[in-house]
C-alpha cells in the first residue's frame, strides 16, 4: 500500500541496481534492507494514520500471528474517510 501511495517507490527499491552483478551475500542484503535508516524512511512515506499498524506489523515475532482484524478495521476506517461508503 505504501509502495502504491509513493509512486511505486520504497526506501530499498534501488537495491537491484546496487547488487546487479550478484556479487553480494544474502545476509548483507538483508541487513541493509532492515537497517533502521530504511525503517525510518519507510515511516516517513507512510500515512501518519497507519503508522501504529505498520509499527505493530514490523515488530511481530517470526511465529506471531498478525492482528488481521485490527489491520483490516483500520484500513476500512481510513478508506471510508477518503471514499464514503454509502
HSE at residue 86, side-chain half, CA atoms within 13 A, is 0
User: Are 80 and 37 contacting, i.e. CB atoms less than 8 angstroms apart?
Assistant: no
Predicted TM-score of the model (pTM) = 0.54
- Across 27-31, 33-37, 63-67, least confident range: 27-31
Interval 33-49: pLDDT, tens: 566 777 888 888 888 88
| Residues sharing a CB contact under 8 Å with residue 32, sequence separation 6 or more, in sequence order | 12, 15, 38
Cα separations in angstroms, 49 against 18, 37, 86: 32, 21, 22
Amino acid at each position: 500500500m505504501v509502495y502504491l501511495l509513493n509512486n511505486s517507490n520504497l526506501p530499498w527499491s534501488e537495491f537491484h541496481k546496487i547488487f546487479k552483478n550478484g556479487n553480494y551475500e544474502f545476509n548483507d542484503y538483508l541487513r541493509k534492507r532492515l537497517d533502521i535508516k530504511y525503517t525510518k524512511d519507510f515511516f516517513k512515506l507512510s500515512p501518519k494514520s497507519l503508522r501504529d499498524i505498520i509499527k505493530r506489523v514490523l515488530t511481530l515475532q517470526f511465529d506471531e500471528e498478525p492482528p488481521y482484524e485490527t489491520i483490516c478495521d483500520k484500513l476500512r476506517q481510513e478508506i471510508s474517510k477518503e471514499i464514503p461508503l454509502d
